[in-house]
Structure 1
Amino acid sequence: MPSVLFREERCKGCRLCTAACPVGIVVMDEGRLNAQGFQPAVVTEMDKCRGCAFCARVCPDLVIDVER
């Protein structure tokens, strides 16, 4: 099963990763803010992750690592 790691403290909430995810499991955590004051991106259902790494490829700040 793939693993997705977010460096949430670096996320600036641009939402590019949420748009890139083909299965819609990357979302913004609306319940909290990171140290920069942004809602960080998170994966809601890791078991549905395909490991495509589209989210990581579009991230301008290299916040996301995907391991297959």
Structure 2
Amino acid sequence: MSVAGLCEICESATVEDRCDRCARLVCADHYDRDSGLCTDCRAEYGDRPPTRRGSEDYPDGVDEYRF
């Protein structure tokens, strides 16, 4: 990815990539290439694999809410 600027997490290193979940521009130290997530998003997931972009984990198999 060709981006310029400072990492949005450490604010000191040069940007290397963008998180697939939150879209933050991050340096190589704060990006997990295997998951495509920044270290903050990866910490939220723990050992769970990330869901597809834009989807969330719904309780009890519910996949849609209507109001």
Q: State the TM-score, normalized to the length of structure 2.
A: 0.23
Q: Which has the higher strand share?
A: 1
Q: State the TM-score, normalized to the length of structure 1.
A: 0.22
Q: Which has the higher helix share?
A: 1
Larger radius of gyration: 2
